Amino acid sequence: MKIEDLQKVMVDRTVDGEFTLDRSIYYDEELFEKEMEHIFEGSWIFLAHEGHLPEVNDFFTTWMGRKPVVLIRGEDNQVRGFINACTHRGATLCRTNRGNKKFLTCSYHGWSFDSTGELRDIKDQDTGGYTDAFGQQNRNLKPIAKIASYHGFIFGSLNADVPDLEVALGNAKPFMKMLGDQSPDGMEIIKGFSRYTTPSNWKFQLENGVDGYHVSTVHANYIGVVMKRMAELEDDQVKSIARGNMSDMVSGTYDLGQGHTILWGEVPGANDRPLAEKRDELEQRLGKESADWMIGRARNLGMFPNVLLMDQTSTQIRVIRPISVGMSEITIYGIAPKGESPGARNRRIRQYEDFFNATGMATPDDLSEFAACQVGNYGLVDEHQSFDRGLGRVIIGGDDTAESLGIEPYSSGPDWADENLFQSFYRQWYELVKAGYQ
């Protein structure tokens, strides 16, 4: 593919009411390689939350594109990131999701590294017959070029030539604060996680996470079950907030720029959210408007390119990892404010199990649609798909709600089913992929 061919992939003429993308973005192997190199291995991506490694010498493993990485909290309480590979033969050092070790010792030949990545011991070095040249080489762990956090959310880049993190986060920051500020003591990761693969391109999950249009179709059975349960059970322990006609609720979308997107909607069952018990404390500490947003409005924040921060029928971090052009891995972590009551924590977990998880009443339906889209798009070669819904009513810039939040989105949609927010994601995607053809 040449740059001239790439220029035909995206048609961005929103002033004329047209925004389309060639369907090859979901199955073209060459495009996928450019995504890996210039997006997942060349820009800021989400790595973890501070709650994944709260104690000194805690480690947490994840991926940056095709490269395994490990985060370690050092003796100085600083979180550092390294390629998760021994500098001897390249074997991965940490082979579990998380743990705690003062020294990371390779299980292959016994080389050992401390929490700063420094090589501290080479097994049998004195009798190994090494030359002087060997001792002059740097064999410490290879560090991630840039790592930084914002309100507990840790991001990293393998490319040092990227803007500061807060610049890259842009208009997404106020919505990240809505999660990070839910407790004066911070947030913590709920024990356990869900991980599954889907035979579909990674972008389907990022799209779906901020797609309000599919809810009344794909999740109609779930909403029906919730309504029936509420009507028939006197002691409904779950108390799902998804109830009634979701299409009628006040909602909206924002193209936040730099690939970040959000949809939001006023929650029918806000008083049944676990955080509702903290309303008085939140209003006193942060103000009524912030408390109303945290409790009364469901939010799905899409952070380019690999994470969804969701605060709706449950509060979660959903991380997307591309494995191949047609296979993706999704990992979901529950997140909660420290210090919440046992009753609120129990409800939080029950609400998560109800809708999400690979065995929930909604996630399997989404995964089925992702797989169906992957198959179907192969049959629509050389055809563009549109992201036009709402373009006739989109507001360029911010609406009154955005102004009250102090954000300046590129565009605002008055309905969470509007597709203006996808434009942000794909404009950023296009600019980064384009670098691979220049």
Per-residue pLDDT at 214: 85
Residue 239 CA to residue 335 CA, distance in Å, equals: 19
397-412: average pLDDT: 90
For the stretch 22-38, pLDDT in tens is 999 999 999 999 999 99
The DSSP code for 420 is: H
146-157: average pLDDT: 98
For the stretch 170-196, pLDDT in tens is 999 999 999 999 999 999 999 999 999
Burial class (CB in 10 A: 0-12, 13-18, 19+), 99: middle
385-400: average pLDDT: 90
Per-residue pLDDT at 213: 87
What confidence tier does 297 reach under pLDDT thresholds 50, 70, 90? very high
For the stretch 95-105, pLDDT in tens is 999 999 999 99
Q: What is the mean pLDDT of the chain?
A: 91
Domains delineated in the chain: 45-148 (2.102.10.10), 172-437 (3.90.380.10)
For the chain, the maximum distance between any two Cα atoms, rounded to a whole number of angstroms, is 79
Per-residue pLDDT at 235: 60
Tokens of residue 291, six digits: 């408390």
Burial class (CB in 10 A: 0-12, 13-18, 19+), 341: exposed
Per-residue pLDDT at 242: 55
Residue 232 has pLDDT above 60, yes or no: yes
Per-residue pLDDT at 411: 92
* Residue 409 CB neighbour total at 10 angstroms: 28
For the stretch 36-61, pLDDT in tens is 999 999 999 999 999 999 999 999 99
* Residue 379 CB neighbour total at 10 angstroms: 8
Task: Give the list of residues 6+ apart from residue 34 with CB closer than 8 angstroms, or none.
Answer: 433, 436, 437
Residue 241 has pLDDT above 60, yes or no: no
